[in-house]
Amino acid sequence: MREKSERTGEVRCLACFERFRVPKGMEKMACPNCGGEWYISWSGPLAKIRKPVWESWERREALEMQQNNEP
């Protein structure tokens, strides 16, 4: 039996275009595929990506740069 709530809270990552589910009421969620973090807005049961969590992306980029700079 399929629950009606199964597809609610599903968003598509704007970075890697993978779909993932957001637990109801969550305002921030990291994509399980690429790890990018997003602010989530809700209209009723539907979740939508609002904008990136820049601190999180900057941290990731800084990390990647550190890794690239390894001798």
Site string for Zn ion, 16-45 (x = CB under 5 A): x--------------x-xx-x---------
19 C-beta neighbours (distance < 10 Å), count: 11
Instruction: Kindly indicate which of the ranges 6-14, 41-49, 51-59, 60-68 contains the residues binding Zn ion, using the contact rule CB under 5 A.
Output: 6-14
Query: Is-contact 36 13, C-beta < 8 A?
Result: yes
CA dihedral 27, 32, 37, 38 (to 10 degrees): -50
How many binding residues for Zn ion (CB under 5 A)?
A: 7
Please give the residue ranges that form the binding site for Zn ion (CB under 5 A): 13, 15-16, 31, 33-34, 36
